[in-house]
Amino acid sequence: MPYRPREERDRARMLAATLAAQAGNAAALDMALAQIGTAFGEAAVVNAFKLRVERMIRLGPGHRETQARFGGRAALLSGHDLNAAIVRAERWWRDERKAFQIASALGYGNRLSLDVLCELRLMLRLMRFKKMQTEFGVIVGAMSDEASALAAE
């Protein structure tokens, strides 16, 4: 089966849900509920997360949005190899998840840092899968240089 971009697969999943509802002679409300369930289901949430990570990767380490989102963490990862960075990111994520659970139990919690760490974990694991150990050092170096330059402004 040929490769299809993630956006196309998402649209195909929506179309399949609509066609399945139509084939069963479902009412318009049932078809709408099937589409809503497909658009906001667990698979759609995971797909949106992966699309967000792919977009950050396409923007590259020099883009301002990438700098703002990952610059501080990249500065903390400078000087480490890819495997050590993965271990640190996992530890950060675990600690942040515990802190978020406690904050949520008390009635206030912000998911932003947790989301950033989830994205960072996926990017680092993807880099390990693609055997990008040397590129990792270059990317982290570029991001930490940019982060220090932005902080100086």
pLDDT at position 151 is 52
pLDDT at 109 over 90: no
Per-residue pLDDT of 119-129, as tens digits, reads: 999 999 999 99
Residue 152 — very low, low, confident or very high, per pLDDT cuts 50/70/90? very low
Greater model confidence, 116 or 25 = 116
Residue (of 75, 72, 89, 76) closest to 127 by Cα position:
89
Kindly state the percentage of the chain with pLDDT values over 90.
Answer: 35
pLDDT at position 1 is 65
Per-residue pLDDT of 48-72, as tens digits, reads: 898 899 899 889 888 999 999 999 9
Greater model confidence, 151 or 40 = 40
